Amino acid sequence: MMNLDYSVLLRALPYLGEGLLFSLQITLVAMAGGIVFGTLLALARLSRYKKLATVAAGYVNLMRSIPLILAIFWIFFLIPEIVAWLIGADHPVQIGTTRTAFIAFTLFEAAYFCEVIRAGILAVPRGQEGAGQALGFTYAQNMRYVVLPQAFRAMIPVLLTQTIILFQDTSLLYVISATDFLGAASKVAQRDGRLVEFYTFAALVYFAICFTLSKVVKRYQARLNKNVAHA
Amino acid sequence: MSLDLNIFFEASPDPGVTYAGMLLSGLAWTVALALLAWVLALIVGTAVGVARTLPFKWLVMLGNAYVEVFRNIPLLVQLFLWYFVLPEILPAAIGNWIKSFDAPWGPFFTALVGLGLFTSARIAEQVRAGINSLAKGQRNAGLAVGMTLGQTYRYVLLPMAARRIIPPLTSEFMTIFKNSSVALTIGVIELTAQAQQMNEFTFRTYEALGAATVIYIIVALTVNQLMALIERKSYIPGLIKQER
Amino acid sequence: MIKIDNVSKHYGPFQVLKNCSTEVKKGEVVVVCGPSGSGKSTLIKCVNALEPFQQGSITVSGVSVGDKKTNLPKLRAQVGMVFQHFELFPHMSLTENLAIAQIKVLGRRREEAMDKGMKLLERVGLKAHAHKYPGQLSGGQQQRVAIARALAMDPICMLFDEPTSALDPEMINEVLDVMVELAQEGMTMMCVTHEMGFAKKVANRVIFMDQGEIIEDREKHAFFETPASDRAQQFLSKILTH
In a domain, A165, yes or no: yes
Instruction: Tell me how close the Cα of B54 comes to any Cα of chain C, in angstroms.
Output: 15
Looking at residue B204, which CATH number applies to its domain?
A: 1.10.3720.10
Rounded to 5°, the CA angle A134-A138-A139 comes to 105
Q: What domain range includes position B149?
A: 5-243
Chains C and B touch (3+ CB pairs under 8 A): yes
In a domain, A142, yes or no: no
Interface B:C, Cβ pairs < 8 A: 92
* B156 shares contact with chain C (CB less than 8 Å): yes
| Least confident among A38-47, C76-85, C224-233 | C224-233
User: Is B69 within 8 Å of A2 when comparing Cβ atoms?
Assistant: no
pLDDT in tens, B41-87: 999 999 999 999 999 999 999 999 999 999 999 999 999 999 999 98
Q: What is the pLDDT of residue A231?
A: 45
In a domain, A2, yes or no: no
Interface residues from chain A to B (CB-CB < 8 Å): 1-2, 62, 64-70, 73-74, 77, 164, 168-169, 171-172, 174-175, 182, 186, 195-196, 199-200, 202-203, 206-207, 210-211, 214
In a domain, A147, yes or no: no
In a domain, A5, yes or no: no
- As for how many domains chain B has, the answer is 1
In a domain, A177, yes or no: yes
Rounded to 5°, the CA angle B102-B104-B110 comes to 85
Percent of chain C residues topping a pLDDT of 90: 81
User: Is C74 within 8 Å of B242 when comparing Cβ atoms?
Assistant: no
The partner residue sitting opposite C135, judged by closest CB among B141, B156, B236, is B236
Q: In C, residues 84-143, which contact B (CB 8 Å cutoff)? A: 84-85, 87-91, 100-101, 104-106, 132-137
**Is residue B88 predicted with pLDDT exceeding 90?**
no
User: Is B144 within 8 Å of C79 when comparing Cβ atoms?
Assistant: yes
| CATH numbers and ranges of domains, chain C | 2-240 (3.40.50.300)
Q: What domain range includes position A221?
A: 10-126+155-230
**Is residue C36 predicted with pLDDT exceeding 90?**
no
d(CA A180, CA C85): 55
Residue B32 vs residue B90, higher pLDDT: B32
- As for how many domains chain A has, the answer is 1
- pLDDT band at residue A230 under the 50/70/90 scheme: low
* Average pLDDT of chain C, as a whole number: 92
DSSP letters along chain B, please?
A: ----GGGGGSBPSSTT-BHHHHHHHHHHHHHHHHHHHHHHHHHHHHHHHHHTTSS-HHHHHHHHHHHHHHHSS-HHHHHHIIIIIHHHHS-HHHHHHHHTSPTTHHHHHHHHHHHHHHHHHHHHHHHHHHHHHS-HHHHHHHHHTT--HHHIIIIIIHHHHHHHTHHHHHHHHHHHHHHGGGGGGGT---HHHHHHHHHHHH--HHHHHHHHHHHHHHHHHHHHHHHHHHHHHT--TTHHHH--
- Taking alpha carbons only, the member of C208, C165, C156, C160 closest to residue C186 is C156
In a domain, A97, yes or no: yes
